[in-house]
Amino acid sequence: MFYILKQLKAVFFSSIISYAVDANQYPAAPESTVVPARANTTQATSIASYEEYDNSELEVISIARGRTPFLHTLINLGRGLSWGDYKTMGVNEMISQNFPEFKWRERDEFKDTFVVSTQSLLASTLLKVASTVGLYKGLLLRNTTTNEQFRITAIVNATDLTVQRGVGTVAAADMEVDDEVIVLSSAATKWESGLDSFFVANQDRSNYFQKFLTTASVDDFDVLSNKINGWEDIVTEKTIQHSLEMEKAVLFGQKKSSADPVTWKAFYTMEGVLENAKRGWTNDISAALTNLTLEEALQSPLKYTKDGSYKKIVLCGSKVRSTISALFETRLRVTQIKDVDLTFESLKINQWEFIFVEHPMLDESSGYEKTMFVLDPSFLKVVYPTGNNPIDNAWFNGKTRFIINQSTKTFSHIEFSLVTYMSMMNSNSNSCAAIKIVA
């Protein structure tokens, strides 16, 4: 049993994007991908044509052992950022008593860029914008086209405000439709002790806990077969399969609550990090990729950080990693966090560090081989539910457990299950980005 638990611990921690979104900033439709059909051949035809035999059953081993999955990177990077403190679960893991829907609150401050919706002549003191939400009396604004600065004297309604024109060194000029104006600062008058107050409400966000279950059985013929090296090999194989299922859900999952059409029992699927990233900043620079255009595309998610962290994880499609190497060959460096067994290549841009992880699942089959996803580890957390065990009334959380079905256990048959309850806290999608960089 010690060996089994050791294996569980070791493994567990171990195209084309459609950017259309609906009114709630969720993808309007699933992204479309063109997936090539796998080779499905017999041994005879393979020998005759020297066609490569499809060994897809080896995928679970090659990915889990030979590559660095996203969960391994995220959790171990979190522990590395917290000085390898395993007793407190790091900055990227948490438990919750809110089950099966995990809820949290986000507060997004008002934007500071506004668009003129109706022409305003130089003598006019009335200005129309798409929305006055976030604006109040006493603010200074600047027209980025004419460089005129003006001051708000009153908010008339949801779209109109009155302004004092040309309050800076640049004289008033006609403001045209689609001109951008940005908030500079407040300019209070003499004897004025306060400006109009404003309130930003917290927004409810949520994700579902997904139940992962892998069940297998071993009989005496399996154990005695020379193709299987005992009970431990089968447990290890199924543990890898279980870990792989969680990895795919963390990446590609979509949030949904539903019920089985036969039993009418409820089940839940969680939203993965890629769907969250696509609600953030999206860009396609594949037609004009240079060092400059890539660094410019990375600027938007850099506006959002938390807890003083200046690190971003970049999940790279199969055709992205080599492109990044060619662009930044002399600037890439290898970083090691020995305490948590993590090695990665990174790129420094000013105070920011981008950690590049080439993920084997972002390939032609998934449709993301040409895309990079920028994620902020300070906003992403792996969440496990917690409760009381009804059998022995002991506390437990949703982390992976190995359970043997004692009711069916005999000398010639053992049935076992791996079970995990897990979700992701994908907070603040503005800290993420999905960028297509390969044509």
| Model pLDDT for residues 202-227, shown as the tens digit of each residue | 788 899 999 999 998 888 887 787 66
pLDDT score at 393: 65
User: Is the distance from CB of 245 to CB of 232 less than 8 angstroms?
Assistant: no
Helix (H, G, I), strand (E, B) or coil at 104: strand
Contact criterion met (CB below 8 Å) for 430 and 250 = no
| pLDDT of amino acid 153 | 92
Q: 């009804």: which residue's tokens?
A: 390
The predicted pLDDT at position 321 comes to: 78
Q: Is 200 left (phi over 0), alpha (psi -120 to 50) or beta?
A: beta
Contact 346, 335 (CB under 8 A): yes
The phi and psi torsions of 320 (rounded to 5 degrees) equal -90, -40
- Give the chain's domains with CATH numbers: 2-18+43-106+205-436 (no CATH), 113-186 (2.40.30)
pLDDT beneath 70: ranges in the chain = 1-69, 72-73, 75-91, 108-110, 226-230, 307-309, 329-345, 390-394
Identity at 116, one-letter amino acid code: V
Q: Which residues, other chains included, contact 37 with Cβ-Cβ below 8 Å and sequence gap of 6+?
A: none
Amino acid 23: pLDDT: 54
The residues facing 312 across adjacent strands are 354
**Residue-level pLDDT at 304:** 79
Look up residue 169 and give its amino acid.
T
pLDDT tens-digit series, residues 61-97: 334 443 445 776 676 665 555 444 444 434 577 888 8
Cβ contact 397:384 at 8 Å: yes
- Tell me how far apart the alpha carbons of residues 434 and 283 are, in angstroms, rounded to a whole number: 7
Handedness of CA 262, 268, 274, 276 (dihedral sign): positive
